[in-house]
């Protein structure tokens, strides 16, 4: 029997196609961050295998092992001579990143104050700083930048303008959202549309067989928006 090939679908209304199976890279980095995380030597072959299986879409974030996950994704491209145009890289920004101490937990880098002032959230400053560092760690641009959380302390116009501008700068190709209420997602989309800025093409929310709250409003909202 012939081997079944991976299927690819458009992400929302965009022309970007992603593999139906997406590889999550949260578990690649350092066990000092979380005990279930694989070290680099164990992670790299899995990325290569995923690519050979047609899984061309890899989802990471700057907070995963405080940047190490992004570095491993970037290293896999070089080590296995994977053409950049053959993969879709998704990353995220919001939380603070402490590269010199990967043992710091998310709770310690989730408040925009003290040692982490201006290094957490979605201010224009932090979005630009975070994306620039992610691109540096990956060694390449980001196909889809997702906001990991909604920063309710920053004006939404500032958030959407900054996201628009990292696309215009060439660091990012598309933007996506994560972890917010449907009305908040719609508000951000409305701001972008009103100003002629780039809109979100995707929403990555908490949804599984047990937690199905997203069926109440979010799924209907993204379908109306033609997002994924």
- Active-site positions read 64
The SS3 assignment for 225 reads helix
Q: Which residue from 203, 9, 179, 3 is spatially nearest to 88, judged by alpha carbons?
A: 9
β-pair partners for 92: 146
Positive/negative CA dihedral, 115, 120, 125, 127: positive
Nearest to 51 by CA among 84, 13, 99: 84
82, HSE (Cβ side, Cα atoms, 13 Å): 28
Q: Is 215 helix (H, G, I), strand (E, B) or coil?
A: helix
User: Encoding tokens for residue 82?
Assistant: 């994977």
Beta pairing class for 23-24 and 172-178: unpaired
CA dihedral 92, 95, 101, 106 (to 10 degrees): -110
CB 146 within 8 A of CB 176: yes
Looking up tokens 């917010």 gives: 180
Q: Which helix (H) or strand (E) holds 202?
A: strand 200-204
């Amino acid at each position: 029997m012939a081997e079944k090939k991976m299927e690819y679908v458009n992400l929302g209304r965009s022309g970007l196609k992603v593999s139906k199976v997406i590889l999550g890279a949260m578990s690649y980095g350092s066990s000092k961050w979380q005990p279930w995380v694989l070290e680099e030597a164990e992670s790299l072959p899995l990325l290569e295998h995923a690519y050979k299986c047609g899984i061309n879409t890899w989802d990471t974030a700057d907070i995963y092992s405080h940047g190490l996950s992004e570095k491993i994704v970037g290293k896999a491209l070089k080590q296995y001579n994977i053409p950049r145009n053959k993969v879709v890289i998704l990353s995220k920004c919001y939380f603070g990143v402490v590269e010199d101490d990967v043992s710091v937990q998310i709770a310690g880098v989730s408040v925009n104050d003290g040692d982490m002032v201006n290094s957490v959230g979605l201010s224009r400053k932090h979005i630009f700083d975070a994306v620039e560092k992610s691109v540096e760690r990956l060694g390449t641009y980001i196909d889809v930048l997702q906001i990991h959380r909604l920063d309710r302390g920053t004006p939404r116009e500032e958030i959407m303008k900054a996201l628009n501008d990292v696309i215009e700068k060439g660091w990012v190709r598309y933007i996506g959202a994560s972890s917010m209420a449907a009305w908040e997602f719609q508000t951000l989309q409305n701001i972008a549309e009103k100003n002629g800025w780039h809109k979100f093409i995707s929403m990555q929310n908490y949804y599984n067989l047990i937690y199905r709250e997203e069926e109440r409003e979010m799924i209907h909202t993204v379908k109306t928006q033609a997002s994924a």
